[in-house]
Amino acid sequence: MEKGLIPNCPITKQDIIRAEDILGPHLGSLKGKTMRKTPGRVTINTLDDLLDGMLEEHGNVTLTVDIMYINKIPFIVTLSRAIRFGTIEMIKDEKKSTIIKSLEQVINAYHGRGFKILHILVDRQFECIRKHMEAAGINLNTTARDKHVSEIECYIRTIKERIRVTTSILMFEQLPHRLIVEIAYNAVFWLNCFRTKKAYTTH
């Protein structure tokens, strides 16, 4: 504008300054012309270093377990004390063999990382797996009749809350079975991504 490179243009330099004050800088120019800043140096913390410190203090794990239902779909949900790591798996039924198979996968996942599960806290629905757990060196602690393990019950309520948050913004009146399962898995995934206030404080 100052050099008059556009003939017969009524816009002045002051018009451009006022427009930038009102509307801000041109977005395309900002995105297209801004140079990328040099990122900071990456500091590498190995997984082994993190696990060593955690294993030293929380190597012996107490696991809380219960069955959750979403639209009549059963899930085995587990939550470890202190570490506050949760798992979830859809199960086809609530037979003894199915429950044992699901829990063995969780137990093996912990053992594979160097943790040792010593105690499992459950309600009386899981009494049928006592002998199997004790044979594996795990103490199964069941609640009194009509009582539940408060930690896993609270965790299940949190999972259901996250599921409702997701489903409330979807445009479907009916959700497919597989979608419900994946939404539940996604909820637990993100709960594990962020440390809670209770993490590492309960022994």
pLDDT of residue 100: 95
pLDDT higher for 62 or 147? 62
End-to-end CA distance of the chain: 71
- Cβ neighbours, 10 Å, residue 116: 13
Q: What is the mean pLDDT of residues 146-171?
A: 89
Domain count, the chain: 1
Is residue 127, in this structure, part of any structural domain at all? yes
pLDDT of residue 6: 78
Is residue 42, in this structure, part of any structural domain at all? no
How much of the chain exceeds pLDDT 70, in percent?
A: 79
pLDDT of residue 91: 95
Q: Which of 118, 120, 90 is nearest to 181 (CA)?
A: 90
Is residue 128, in this structure, part of any structural domain at all? yes
Is residue 117, in this structure, part of any structural domain at all? yes
What CATH number should be reported for the domain holding residue 131?
A: 3.30.420.10
Q: What is the mean pLDDT of residues 175-195?
A: 91
CA distances from 140 to 55, 70, 76, 123, 197 (A): 22, 26, 16, 10, 27
Is residue 75, in this structure, part of any structural domain at all? yes
Task: Provide the residue range defining the domain that includes 73.
Answer: 48-193
Is residue 9, in this structure, part of any structural domain at all? no
User: pLDDT grade, residue 202 (50/70/90)?
Assistant: very low
CA angle 128/104/198 to nearest 5° reads: 95
Is residue 116, in this structure, part of any structural domain at all? yes
Half-sphere exposure (Cβ direction) of 138: Cα atoms closer than 13 Å: 26
